Amino acid sequence: MRREDLAEADCGIAQALAVIGDWQSLLIVRECAAGVTRFEGLVKELGLSRRALTERLATLVADGVLAKHVYSDRPARYDYRLTRRGQGLLPVLVALQEWGTQHVMGDGGVTAVAGTDEQHRLDSLLGTTPPSVELASHRGDSLRLTDTDRWTVAFFFPGAYAPESHGYPPGWSEIPGTRGCTLECLTYAEHHQELAAAGARVVGVSTQRPDQLAAFAAHAALPYDLASDADGVASSAYRLPVFRAGGADRLKRVSLLLDPDGTVRHVQAAVTDPAGSAADMLARLRELTTSAGV
C-alpha cells in the first residue's frame, strides 16, 4: 500500500501513518518534544544523513506536525517546533515508550525504575535543559514546570486519590513503585516551608485529571501545586518512564531539581524511600545554592 493510499483510507490509524508512518519521523518528533529543535542538533542526536533529515523535516512541516521559526537570517536557520497538531502525537510517543520498555527491553511486567535502561536515560538528564512545559494546575490555572525566579522541586508520581473518590485501579498496590504516593505528597508538605526558605517551590505531577488532583490536594491540605500531565507533555519533554494501569498511562516515581534556568541539577530515580526523598532534595538544594552563593 502506498502512502497516498493510506491517506485516503477510511481509518484513522491508516491516515495517521500516512503522515508519520516511519521510525525516523517519530524520532524527530521525540527530539523536538525534548527541546532539540535545530537541524544540527537533530543530526547529532539521531545520526541521520543530512539529506534524509531535510526530506523528513520538509514532510513534517508540510503535514502541519512541525512549524519553522527563524532564529538566524544570514544564513537562514530555523527552529523546528511542534505545532498543536504535532503535540497531539505526544501520547503516542509515551505509549510507544511504555510498550518498548515493558515488552521489548523488559519481560512484559511492570517494574520500578532501578538498574535499567530507564535509569540510564534518567541519569542522562543531569545537566540538560529540557523545554519548560506548561501543565494544568489543580487550582484551575496553568503553570510552567520551571520558574525563572526560583528553583523547582518537581516530583512525578503514579497517582494519589482522596478517600471518597475510589480512584485507585484494581491491584494498584501490587504494582512496583505505586505504594507511597500519599506519603510522598505529605512529606513534601511537611518540608514545604524549609524548601521555600531555601529558594525552591514544589510541584507534584501525575497523569491524573486536574479535578482528581484538586480533590486530593484539598483532602491532604497540600500547600503546593499539583499538576496534570494527562496529555504527556512533561513525559515527552523529559522522556519519563511510564506504565499503564486502569486504562491510563501513569508516571513512575521520579524527582527532579531544576534551577531557575530549567537545567536539571539533581535526579532521584528510583525513589524507593518516598518519606526520605524530600529531605534528600532539601539537602541537595541547600548544597547547590550555598556553593553558588545564592
Q: The CATH number of the domain where 33 resides is what?
A: 1.10.10.10
**What was the pLDDT predicted at 16?**
80
Q: What pLDDT is stored for residue 108 in this prediction?
A: 66
Instruction: Note whether residue 115 is domain-resident.
Output: yes
pLDDT confidence of residue 67:
95
Peptide linkage before 75 cis (omega within 30 of 0) = yes
C-alpha cell at 56: 523528513
One domain, residues 79 and 114: no
| Domain finish residue from 33, 52, 87 | 87
What is the C-alpha separation between 139 and 137, in angstroms, rounded?
5
Does one domain contain both 30 and 134?
no
251-271 burial: b if 16+ Cβ within 10 Å, else e: bbbbbbbbbeebebbbbbbbb
The pLDDT of residue 124: 92
Residue 168 CB coordination number (10 Å):
16
Q: Evaluate whether residue 68 is within a structural domain.
A: yes
Asked if residue 198 is part of any domain, the answer here is: yes
Residue 93 lies in a domain: no
What confidence score (pLDDT) does residue 292 get? 64
189 and 137 inside one domain: yes
Residues 163, 236: one domain? yes
> Could you give the 3-state DSSP secondary structure of residue 114?
coil
pLDDT of residue 96: 86
Query: What is the pLDDT at residue 169?
Result: 73
Residues 141 and 278 in one domain: yes
CA-wise closest residue to 59 among 107, 6, 22? 22
Alpha helices in the chain (DSSP H): 3-8, 12-20, 23-33, 39-46, 50-62, 84-87, 90-99, 117-123, 181-190, 192-197, 210-220, 233-238, 274-291
Cα three-residue angle 93-98-103, rounded to 5 degrees: 125
Q: How many domains does the chain have?
A: 2
- Looking at the fold, whether 75 and 127 belong to one and the same domain comes out as no
Render 214-279 in DSSP notation, one character per residue.
HHHHHHHT-SSEEEE-TTSHHHHHHT--EEEETTEEEE--EEEEE-TT--EEEEE-S---HHHHHH
Of 87, 118, 133, which residue is a domain's last?
87
- Return the pLDDT at 293: 63
pLDDT tens per residue across all 294 residues of the chain: 556 665 566 787 788 888 887 889 999 999 998 888 999 999 999 999 999 999 999 999 999 999 999 988 888 899 999 999 998 898 888 888 878 877 776 766 666 665 567 788 899 999 999 998 999 999 999 999 999 999 999 999 999 988 876 667 776 777 766 778 899 999 999 999 999 999 999 999 999 999 999 999 999 999 999 999 999 999 999 999 888 877 788 898 899 999 999 999 999 987 878 888 999 999 999 999 987 665
> Does the residue 36 lie in any domain?
yes
Q: Give the H or E element holding residue 200.
A: strand 200-206
Q: In this predicted structure, what is the pLDDT of residue 47?
A: 92
Question: What is the span of the domain harbouring residue 193?
Answer: 109-291
Q: What is the pTM of this model?
A: 0.82
Could you tell me the CATH number of the domain that includes residue 195?
3.40.30.10
**Is 147 a domain residue?**
yes
Is residue 78 within a helix (H) or strand (E), and if so which, with residue range?
strand 77-82
pLDDT of residue 3: 60
284 grid coordinates: 541537595
pLDDT given at position 8: 63
* Gap between the Cα atoms of 278 and 87, Å rounded: 32
How far is Cα 214 from Cα 137, in angstroms, rounded to an integer?
8
Q: Are residues 237 and 129 in the same domain?
A: yes
